[in-house]
Structure 1
Amino acid sequence: MSPQELDAVQERLETFAAEVFSGFARADQRRWGERYVRGLLTDGARKSMEPMAARLGVDRQGLQQFLTDAPWSHQLVLAEPAWRMEAAIDPVAWVIDDVSFPKDGQESPGVAAQYCGALGKRANCQVAPSVHLVTDAASCPVSRRLFVPEGWDPSSPRVPDAEAVTARRRRARIPEEVAHVPKWRLAVDMPDEPACWGLDAPLVVADEGYGQDGAFRLALTERNIAYVVGVRSDTALLAADVCRTKTPYRGTGRRAAPRYRQRRHSALGMVTPIEYEMLYPNAQLA
């Protein structure tokens, strides 16, 4: 937004910031919170502290301290807009997806060469699994988790220099207890946060990047959350009432693995050609 556009909505912006940061005990923290929001809305590709402070005409050190050193609860900041948007849009589903942030440097927390959805290719970026309240006409992110790649985890066996990684994490202010975990594990815990705020998930929707993982689907089932997720066409499907059997070991040869007696179906085989054509208009059935 241009300075003129920001001036036109300044009163509304101050009202919004006062509500979002109302849980902050100190007036200076609420003031810096409002300035940070204004900085994110200003024109300019770079949203780091120095360029934002320059555009706002404020002290960069004060803005930096608010984000990195001042004690405040991010849950309070996330909960307020979530409550507002829940009432405003009446979401029909919660979408779990990745949000990516392209980066030029190597010091931002969790930055690595990985798939970047914002660019549509592998690039240097940060990735954050997120939960969005959605309808056909609106979407609002309400929860995010920063994905920590293996290269940022000194306990990973793939890290050649654990001391260098530990020093890098210290510079980036990553807490010691934060380690590399799969994205699905981050994603499946995120609906718990809005649930603590009193929000109920009507339906969770995710693409194949999450839906293909059976542990992710099982975790949603254990939470009694209905879901619709993407899977690969070669995914095996079985009826809900099937059971696995195991042949007793007779003392010779390889032990038999548990197996299903019922016939499996591929995910593609469970979709009619007409349904498949509607879902994938550019694909062809063999």
Structure 2
Amino acid sequence: MAVDESWRTDLEQWLAPFLAGLSHPARRKMCPQYIAGLIGPGDRKSVQPMAARGGEAGYDQLHHFVAAGIWDSAPLEAALLNEADRLVGGTGAFLVIDDTAMPKKGRHSVGVAPQYASSLGKNANCQTLVSVTLASREVPVMVGLRLFLPESWTSNPERMAKAKVPADRQVALTKPEIAIEEIDRVRMAGVRFGCVLADAGYGMSAPFRQALSERGLSWAVGIPYRQKVYAADVAMIFPVSGHGRPRQHHIPDSQSVAAETLLAEQPWRSVSWRRGTKGRLTARFAALRVRVADGPTQRIRDMGNQHLPGEEVWLVGEHRSTGERKYYLSNLPPDTPIKTLAGAIKARWICEQAHQQLKEELGLDHFEGRSWTGLHRHALMTMIAYAFLQSRRLTAAGRKKKSRGTSAAADYARRSAGDPQHLR
């Protein structure tokens, strides 16, 4: 019981910057109670069981706060970004882009539709949230969750209006486009990070990669093995035709090939990027400078329209011990060691831990309302709760560091991976 009261007292103090963004006293009262309900005991973190367990606020009050109350979430989102930057921000931090699916029955909850769920590895009736995680030293803090609306929703204004989707959100956006909007929001808040990471669902999008480069951001993203690339020394030539009209456009002097093909003959070597619970994590990697075939299209001889060479980047291949092969692109500098490339690429895994803990421990996928506002407010409350737990863990790890002379981040990673309850 003493531990329970300790975290509750700490929560009230820690939430002060967040509550400053809520002007009404009733909302400043409901916010801590909602977050405490997410953190506290109980398997179900929807409004009704949280209200029943807490006893301080009724169901109607909590439901009104999260689903119907008139208040702006932007100040709380800004406070979350400030706290995340304080906890893990810096030039060595990563901003991880991913998405997470929440299985859902029926068809009336906002954004629900049969669609591919990456976390399930199959098509399912679900809602999909684009996620943004700030992470450093294997410590993640989730800072953004934004609902993706499938075409079955964006093509039906009446359906969106019924689910109370704001007018400025009733537009068809791809997941990479949503991700870029979220990255811009994070950057405008002054959050510090060194590199953007994403899986192949985002990395396969040329506009996504190009948007990152246009913003001067470093990035490392997954790609399909079929992604076409050119050798780094490809040259643009102006061929002279022996007959017919002269050519009006330059073309590359070599053909683009699949990433898998270009790396097949390269030397591969074993690289270890960090220590896991069972020892060093190791795989075989190969890396080569290439030009991505994502430039403007141009008819090339008898091959039809082909993408011209684009930005020069790293092409990286990974052979896992399971036999699985993965491929990546990164615009990190040409002198970047392969160990650094591997470390950046593999740092993306931390967002999966955050997704799991947000769902299993804090009830991200337990919200039972149908509206856009309710879902996003509930998601925001879970992210604030998660940031609070991370703050407590890092504080505890810091105390261990002072008493034992060990790395606070290393102590955190050893003790709390997969267990967000032990420091409550």
State which of 263, 271, 284 in structure 2 corresponds to 1:277. 284
What are the within-5 Å matches in structure 2 for residues 217-236 of structure 1? 217-236=209-228
Give 5+ residue unaligned stretches, structure 1.
155-161
**Distance across 2 between alignment mates of 1:56 and 1:35:** 8
% of aligned pairs identical? 28
State which of 168, 174, 187 in structure 2 corresponds to 1:182. 174
**Corresponding residue for 1:159?**
none
**Distance across 2 between alignment mates of 1:204 and 1:21:** 30
Q: Give per-residue Cα distances to partners, 1:206-227, cap 9 Å, x unaligned.
A: 1101001111111111111110
SS in 2 for 1:216: helix
State which of 160, 173, 188 in structure 2 corresponds to 1:169. 160
What are the within-5 Å matches in structure 2 for residues 6-85 of structure 1? 6-57=4-55, 58-85=57-84
Give 5+ residue unaligned stretches, structure 2.
271-282, 286-317, 326-424
- Over 3 Å counting, the alpha-carbon distance change for 1:264 and 1:105 in structure 2 is same
**Distance across 2 between alignment mates of 1:45 and 1:76:** 30
TM-score of the pair, normalised by structure 2: 0.56
Letter in structure 2 aligned against 1:151: S
**Distance across 1 between alignment mates of 2:249 and 2:149:** 35
**Distance across 2 between alignment mates of 1:54 and 1:246:** 77
Higher strand share: 2
Superposition deviation, residue 86 in structure 1: 1.7
- Over 3 Å counting, the alpha-carbon distance change for 1:61 and 1:221 in structure 2 is same
What are the within-5 Å matches in structure 2 for residues 93-172 of structure 1? 93-154=94-155, 162=156, 166-172=157-163
Superposition deviation, residue 5 in structure 1: 5.8
Superposition deviation, residue 96 in structure 1: 0.4
SS in 2 for 1:109: coil
Superposition deviation, residue 244 in structure 1: 8.6
Letter in structure 2 aligned against 1:280: H
Letter in structure 1 aligned against 2:13: T
Superposition deviation, residue 284 in structure 1: 6.9
**Distance across 2 between alignment mates of 1:262 and 1:152:** 44
Superposition deviation, residue 63 in structure 1: 1.6
Letter in structure 2 aligned against 1:186: I
Letter in structure 2 aligned against 1:137: E
**Distance across 1 between alignment mates of 2:238 and 2:64:** 60
SS in 2 for 1:190: helix
CA RMSD of aligned residues (A): 3.1
**Corresponding residue for 1:158?**
none
Superposition deviation, residue 191 in structure 1: 0.9
**Corresponding residue for 1:194?**
186
- Contact kept, 8 Å, 2:234 with 2:252, in 1: the verdict is no
**Distance across 1 between alignment mates of 2:161 and 2:42:** 29
Bigger relative contact order, structure 1 or 2 (CA pairs below 8 A, ≥6 apart): 2
**Corresponding residue for 2:86?**
87
Letter in structure 2 aligned against 1:71: I
Superposition deviation, residue 147 in structure 1: 0.3
Q: Give per-residue Cα distances to partners, 1:109-153, cap 9 Å, x unaligned.
A: 111222334444332221111111112421011122210111112
